[in-house]
Chains A and B, each alone.
Chain A
Amino acid sequence: MSAPTDAAAPGPVRAIVAPRPADVAAARCAAWGACSDLVASPHDVDVRAALAARLGSFDALPHGAGLAALAEELARADEARLRAEYSGLFEVGSEGPPVPIREDLQTGQLAGTREDIVRFYDFFGYRLDDRFAWAPDHLSVELEFVHFLCYREAQQDDDVLSYVLAQLDFAERHLLRWVPALAGATATHAAGSLYARVVAGLADFIRADHAWQQSTVGPAGP
């Protein structure tokens, strides 16, 4: 990976200004993977088994406690109930799903939303399987992408700054822009439901993680 020239990068040049050890990246990698599973469709993925295999993924993170409990609850939940609740909220409905779990639909199909996501994916070589290619803006997919970026950061054998900055920018350009609204819409439609709590927990997690990330990145020194 070649280093960018300053002239090519508009705006302030950013750098890592606080430690981001590999084990933190690994912990975050695991947590974001579990986040992706939390909102994966139980019709497409055996969510209970997936989460059971990832129990503990949030434990290392100070802001992961809420999701850790929810992951355990999901892993133990009745599968039929999970499927019914998930699809009834996010996948099927009389005028489309009550709470579409795709960014493009939550944000009103604005021009450029999906293109920006796909450009992120392409840039970092994250290529969707044919089956899911049509939904790059699905929350579970976006979270998997963050999981992937964290993984690359954790490997530390590459241009770490690229993956750090991409995480920050992807959160700001996408996750933070729509997941809180998704949490609000889910709560409106199914207050107190398991998935309303999951999405609310995710919104909190995204915000907390972003705050931490911001604390590690700042203007590059002179």
Chain B
Amino acid sequence: MSFTTDRRRFAQGLAAASGAALSMRYGVAAAAGDAATPAYRSFEDLLRNKWTWDRVARGTHGTNCAGTCAFNVYIRNGIVWREEQQGMYAPSGDAPDYGPRGCQKGLRHAKYMYGPQRILYPMKRVGGRGEGRWERISWEQATTEIADRFLDLATTEGPQCVTYGSGTQMSVKLASSAGLFRFANITGVTVPEFYSGVGDLPTGVYMTLGQVYTGDVMAAVYKARCVLVWMSNPAATRIPDAHFFWEARYNGTKLVAISPEFTPTAMHCNHWLNPKPGTDTALAMSMVHVILDEGLYDAAYIREQTDLPLLVRLDNGEFLREEDLTLVGRLAVRENVYYLWDEATGGIVQAPGTGLAEKPAGRERRRHGSLDLGAIRPALEGRWTVETLDGPVEVTTVFARLVERAAAHAPEKMQPVTGLAPAVVRKVARMFAAVKPAMIYTGYAACKWQHGDMLQRAMLLMVSLTGNVGVEGGGLQFGNAPRTRGVAGFAMADIGPAMRMVSSTTWDYDHGDFRALNERIYGRELADTYDRYYRASLREDWFPDYSDRGWKMAFFAGENAASWRAGNNQWRKEAFDRLRTIVVLAPDMGVTALHADYVLPIAHHYERADVMLQSRIPYVQVLDAAVPPLGESVDDWEANRRLAEAISRRARERGLGAVRDEVDGRSVRRDYARTLDWYTMGGRIRSAKDVVQYVLNTTPGVPKVSFAELASRGIVRVDHSDSTLWEHAGSPYHNDVVESVRNKRPYETFTGRQQFYIDHEWFLEFDEALPAHRDPLRIDGFPLQMLMGHARHSIHSMWRDDPLLLSLQRGEPDVYVNPGDAKARGVADGDLVRVFNPGGEFYALAHVSAGIQPGMIFSYHGWDPMQHRTRNNFSAVVTSAGLIKPTTMAGDYGHLGYRALAFAPNQTYRDFTCNFERAADQQLGRRPAAQASA
């Protein structure tokens, strides 16, 4: 081939050959003749120099895996090439240490962050919603248009019709959360709290203990002598910490897995109990019966710490209160004075620690009185007649009533319900009660059943009767959370509280018309009944009423709401799709972003500054920005700053004056022209690092280090973390239960004690004053209970679509089915099946497994609808979102009544059934994205 230049034409476009022009947009070049540039003769020459790193940054993955593992992040040429575990943890006490920590998802992140799913630029929808047609726009255009839409609503209908939803991706990153809450506090948007929205709020724990934080560090597992691993699968979901279970077992601890399906955790345990799905409360109460019946309880402990010795009237089932006994009590409505039968004196006596605080609930309560019994010897059983203002009334103890209730759940009686042999149940109950400390390690799945509150109350009975609550290595291990003063303080600094936080569950019930869903799925009677109680709670002002707010615009950050919302089809149709504007802030594409009008690109884990505190390990962990955010992505703080800037600018340009707003009865003035000024505290807060520093400085129990020092060290040990128990008031985590047990401080419950008996009128009406088994709801004609659990290969939908991680599974979504159920339907392992019920359908591969009971199917969660054929995932068949259990909306009862992040109804994610059938290939609309790209 000849190659000659046309000199005449060439000269028109360029300088002469000798003056070839170098014009570069992306790179800069070393000077020609640079002596450092060696000769190149073949590609091997590229490899002669040792690969070195420009920098090693500290970081982790800001996702709610509860791992918070310290990583070294290796950077060269502005690229993260790999990460490596930073194994420099010390132990708590004599337990094994916490390091090295990590999992396969985290070790994929250096690759994943550069993957095709990454959102790199602000995007605006140009086709119909969900059609997938986008244009890249500038940040300025995006924020200006979003600000205008917000201001249109805020100044006409009020900012409350705009929500700013966040999820677990957000909650664990304290600076990001603080920034979001500050933005919400300034603008007045509604923040639906996701804790109950994802069905994770331990309402049963709150009912019993007056607060929801009962978790210690993971090393506490090692201190237990017996652990029931219940509704939890740590071998798959707590990879960095699962070793504590296996080390405990080597150390002689008995491990018992309790789950309907055979889990990766069960295979490592001494015993595995497999109750039928939804019968866990029956099992727990069976074991309570054994503990009571065989006298295996710690009488001294329960006399002092619990309401079990409190007297209950036999005529109406209510506690005997001061208002029953004295005119003064009746006139003063002294509902929180309770009585014991004192064996020492042979008469009733006011229970210590009751009736002293003005407010029956809250921290105020703890400062008054003591649970110390002194010379009182409370009777646990008996019947006595007490003279009341209404005449003689027969009373007994909560304990006595519990004995009756538990006897109704004896293992032999519950065998048809649980499917478990009574001898096995008795053996495990004895094993549990025989040693101290004993622990129930549980996950959040309990909260997702409609009657999960009663399961938690029953679990707490087991650990309380045996004297294990508040004891190192014992108790009910849920999660703990940092005291929020740092985050809340930042949100409110210079402004005061003006934020709207609402219960997601009731918000969705109102805006998704879930009464209609209940009627369609569970029948009119249930729908009417539940709705009647729901309305009554709002009418009584026990819970806030959001029905008049409308829902017009939504921001979603750090969550993939359209993937997991229970009752998804109904929610999508009635609420989500009706929103005028949807804005998603995310690092990766997912179904929520797919349906957005605007998508704003957010920095990933190694591209941002933040700080994490997870109660399972006693360290503060940094996220240092190893590299700048990819493309035009920015961290959440900066995204909200840009939104705040646009709101201020447009408010000024449009000449909008301040508007009056009202939050919780307080009048608030919102001057949107000053949004940016407020947001940045007058310019004092310039970046996420400044927010981190603020949070570090103001969060109790966190060493006062600079961001730079934290970034250089990666992790810093928090204060008062020598033992495996959060026992010190100076630690960053809640220690209230320990405080009550050790120092005999009253609990924040109505009775001031661990409260197992609730005599609220609704609890009595539904016969839930004490926990009891209830059959899970089913849908007529659909035989299979569907259960879900956190996955080994993803944290919710994060990393769910990673090709390597998919290659370790089946490459696309699957559901686990029992071999008999599969055979009856002509389904073989690997077949594509349609899972369906009246709520909807989705397609997945059948994973035929003998570890699955007949009558159930199991799906690891987190599969995004976009990975499924027909773009529906498990949430299409979750029909239970409207099952708002009446008693979880009770109020005007001490600690019961709406309390954000503590007491609110969970969105229910169980209590439905479905079916499956083999799917014909021609039924498939499309191949899933992961498969297509592979």
Give the interface of A toward B (CB within 8 A): 1-4, 8-11, 13-14, 21-27, 29-30, 33, 36-37, 40, 43-45, 54-57, 59-62, 83-84, 87-88, 91-97, 100, 104-105, 108-109, 114-116, 118-136, 138, 140-141, 144-145, 147-148, 150-152, 154-155, 157-159, 161-163, 165-166, 169, 173, 211-212, 215
Q: Which residues of B contact A26 (CB under 8 A)?
A: 10, 14-20
Q: Which residues of B contact A128 (CB under 8 A)?
A: 26-27, 77-78
Q: Which residues of A contact B315 (CB under 8 A)?
A: none
Q: Which residues of B contact A165 (CB under 8 A)?
A: 40-42
Q: A1-B38, A162-B39 are in contact. Are A95 and B866 (CB under 8 A)?
A: yes
Judge whether A125 and B77 touch: CB under 8 Å.
no
Report the Cα distance A13→B76, complex, angstroms: 31
Whether B47 sits at the interface, judged by CB under 8 Å, is: yes
Q: A30-B14, A109-B114 are in contact. Are A14 and B26 (CB under 8 A)?
A: no
Whether B684 sits at the interface, judged by CB under 8 Å, is: no
Judge whether B41 and A125 touch: CB under 8 Å.
no
Report the Cα distance A92→B42, complex, angstroms: 37
B17, B76, B123: the one contacting A92 at CB < 8 Å is B123
Report the Cα distance A169→B44, complex, angstroms: 11
Q: Give A214's nearest chain B residue, CB to CB.
A: B1
Judge whether B121 and A43 touch: CB under 8 Å.
yes
Q: Which residues of A contact B929 (CB under 8 A)?
A: 95
Interface size on B, residues (CB 8 A): 80
9 of the cross-chain contacts (CB-CB < 8 Å) are: A1-B38, A26-B15, A56-B10, A91-B121, A97-B116, A109-B115, A119-B47, A144-B27, A158-B33
Q: A40-B25, A60-B10, A94-B134 are in contact. Are A9 and B45 (CB under 8 A)?
A: yes
Q: Which residues of B contact A56 (CB under 8 A)?
A: 9-10, 12-14
Q: Which residues of B contact A161 (CB under 8 A)?
A: 39-41
Whether B36 sits at the interface, judged by CB under 8 Å, is: yes
Known contacts A4-B45, A100-B116, A104-B114; 10 further A-B pairs (Cβ under 8 A): A25-B20, A40-B25, A109-B115, A119-B46, A123-B46, A126-B27, A132-B26, A144-B24, A154-B18, A155-B20
Judge whether A215 and B46 touch: CB under 8 Å.
no
Whether B250 sits at the interface, judged by CB under 8 Å, is: no
Distance (whole angstroms) from the CB of A103 to the closest CB of chain B: 11
Report the Cα distance A56→B9, complex, angstroms: 7
Report the Cα distance A29→B14, complex, angstroms: 10
Distance (whole angstroms) from the CB of A27 to the closest CB of chain B: 5
Q: Give A80's nearest chain B residue, CB to CB.
A: B135
Whether B765 sits at the interface, judged by CB under 8 Å, is: no
- Complex interface bits, B88-131 against A, C-beta within 8 A gives 1, otherwise 0: 00000000000000000000000100111111110100100000
Judge whether B132 and A94 touch: CB under 8 Å.
yes
Whether B483 sits at the interface, judged by CB under 8 Å, is: no
Report the Cα distance A23→B6, complex, angstroms: 10
Report the Cα distance A10→B594, complex, angstroms: 51
A-B pairs with beta carbons under 8 A, tally: 267
Q: A27-B5, A91-B136, A212-B1 are in contact. Are A54 and B79 (CB under 8 A)?
A: no
Judge whether A24 and B5 touch: CB under 8 Å.
yes
Q: Which residues of A contact B18 (CB under 8 A)?
A: 22, 26, 154
B13, B33, B628: the one contacting A130 at CB < 8 Å is B628
Judge whether B13 and A30 touch: CB under 8 Å.
yes
Residue from the set A36, A96, A152, A159 with the largest chain B CB neighbour count within 10 Å: A96
Report the Cα distance A124→B51, complex, angstroms: 15
In order of increasing CB-CB distance, the 9 nearest A-B pairs are A133-B78, A125-B30, A56-B13, A96-B116, A23-B17, A87-B136, A60-B10, A94-B132, A26-B20
- Complex interface bits, B50-62 against A, C-beta within 8 A gives 1, otherwise 0: 0100000000000
Distance (whole angstroms) from the CB of A106 to the closest CB of chain B: 10
Report the Cα distance A99→B886, complex, angstroms: 52
Q: Give A215's nearest chain B residue, CB to CB.
A: B1
Q: Which residues of B contact A33 (CB under 8 A)?
A: 21, 23
Q: A27-B17, A109-B115 are in contact. Are A11 and B9 (CB under 8 A)?
A: no
Distance (whole angstroms) from the CB of B678 to the closest CB of chain A: 31
Q: Which residues of A contact B10 (CB under 8 A)?
A: 23, 26-27, 30, 56, 59-60
Judge whether B3 and A140 touch: CB under 8 Å.
no
Whether B37 sits at the interface, judged by CB under 8 Å, is: yes
Judge whether A23 and B121 touch: CB under 8 Å.
no
Judge whether A92 and B9 touch: CB under 8 Å.
no
- Complex interface bits, B569-597 against A, C-beta within 8 A gives 1, otherwise 0: 00000000000000000000100011000
